[in-house]
Amino acid sequence: MDIEILLQILISGLLMGLIFALIAVGLTLIWGVMDILNFAHGEFLMLAMFFSFWMFSLWAIDPLWSLPVTVALLFAIGVGTYYFIIKKVLNAPGLTALLATFGLSILIKNLAQFFWTPDFRQVQGAILGDKTLSIFNLNVSLPELIAACGSALITYLVYYLIFRTKTGRAIRAAALDRDTALLMGINIDRVYALTFGLGGACVGVAGALLMNFYYVFPSVGSLFGILAFVTVALGGFGNITGAFYAGILIGVVETAGGVFVSPVFKYTIVFAMYLVIISIRPKGLFGW
């Protein structure tokens, strides 16, 4: 096999992986801080993509320009989800929180299907459009490249927020020991709401960027959702850098597996790899 094809696989895998990473970062944040696995994360992504799509379709606003709006909307949805649902199940026995977000995901997905039909939609004629770049004989789709760069940037920003700002410290404190943080005067309620909002915002960015080159349909959240869960678990609960690397790993494995084994098994290989890794390291690659 050509070295060219190999590099192409690596690049394509890396680009997609960075996007998986961003989606996972939002999820792992929520998990790390509140010990809640947001089952509706994939559906949030789907909503972000649809909002982008509709803004383009109805008002001809390019996904690049509408990105801030999408992010704001998803932030609001995240915060709203916290106040109306999560807050009430925080103290409930284990199963409950999981099932609450689960119910939410079913609800959102089927409402989307009811209102927007299961048809696949695409943005056609966006600024980034179908342009391809040729770098050293490698074909890189421009929208994908932008999406990947955007994802990497936002991931870094989140990391910076969590580890280098005062707000971030509050979030970390709440994650480590909720009661002590409360005692120290941290408004846990606000921290949690912010965290959920941030998780939504991350997914908002990812969705808006994805819309430049991906199809959207009500069930698109399911696949990305499961991949996000696997990424997060692989990276270790609450671990942002872990999720980042895990995302890239999954992107590359998926593309490579698709080419070297068979395209129909591209995700199967990812899941199998997850099971193998998790049995050796039950808390993920970087978990503690």
Partner 1 sequence: METSALALLKKPWVLITLLVLFCLPFTTSNIHFHHVLIMFMLFATLSQAWNVIGGFAGQVSFGHATFFGIGAYAALVLLKRFDLSPWVGMLIGGGVAVIVALLIGYPVFRLKGHYFAISTFAVAEIAERLFANWDFVEGAIGLPAPVLPEGLVNFMWYKTKMPYFYIAFILFVAVLLLAYKINRSRLGFYLRAIKQSHEAAEGLGIDTSKYKVMAMMISAFLTAICGSFYAQYILFIDPPSVLSLDISIKMVLITVLGGAGTVIGPILGAAILIPLSEYSRILLGGTGKGMDLIVFGALILFISVYQPQGLVGFLRKTGKS
Partner 2 sequence: MKKQGYFSVFALVMVLFLGTVLAEAQDVIRIGSIYPLTGAIASSGLRSKHAIETAIDVINNKYDFDIPFARTQGIPNLKGAKLQVIWGDSQASPEIGKTEAERLITQEKVPLLLGAYQSSVSKSASFVAERFKIPFVCAESSSAALTERGLKYFFRIAPTDAEDSIAFFDFLDQMKAKGKKVERVAIVYENTEFGVHARGEATKQAEKRGYKIVADVPYTFKSTDVKSEVLKIKAAKPDVILQASLLGDMMLFAKTFKEQKVEFMANLAYCGGYHDPSFVQNMKKDAEFYMGQCTFSPDFITKKPVLAKINEMYKKRSGVDFDGVTIEGFTSVLVIADAFNRAQSTDPEKVVQALRATDLKTPTLPGDGVKFNEQGQNIKIISHISQVLNGQYRVVWPGEMAATDLVWPFKPWDKR
Q: Which residues bind partner 1 (CB under 8 A)?
A: 31, 37, 85, 88-89, 92-100, 102-111, 113-114, 222, 226, 229-230, 233, 237, 262, 264-265, 267-268, 271-272, 274-275, 278-279, 282-284
Report in angstroms the alpha-carbon separations of 47 from 74, 110, 210, 273.
8, 12, 12, 29
Q: CA-CA distance, 187 to 13, in Å (whole number)?
A: 41
Q: CA-CA distance, 107 to 101, in Å (whole number)?
A: 10
Q: Provide, rounded to whole angstroms, the least separation between the CB of residue 179 and partner 2.
A: 43
Q: CB nearer to partner 1: give 168 or 287.
A: 287
Site for partner 2 in 71-90 (CB under 8 A): none
Site for partner 2 in 89-128 (CB under 8 A): 117-120, 124
Q: Provide, rounded to whole angstroms, the least separation between the CB of residue 120 and partner 1.
A: 16
Token output for 60 = 């001809």
Helices 41-59 and 3-34, interaxial angle, to 10°? 110
13: helix, coil or strand? helix
Residues 131, 147, 104: CA angle, nearest 5 degrees: 130
Candidate ranges 32-40, 61-69, 233-241, 257-265; the one touching partner 2 (CB under 8 A): 257-265
Question: Does residue 262 bind partner 2 (CB under 8 A)?
Answer: yes
Neighbouring-strand partners of residue 132: 141
Site for partner 2 in 156-215 (CB under 8 A): 214-215
Question: Does residue 271 bind partner 2 (CB under 8 A)?
Answer: no
- How many Cα atoms within 13 Å fall on the side-chain side of residue 264? 0
Residues that bind partner 2 (CB under 8 A): 1-2, 5, 8-9, 12, 16, 117-120, 124, 130, 132, 139, 141, 214-215, 220, 223, 254-255, 257-259, 262-264, 266
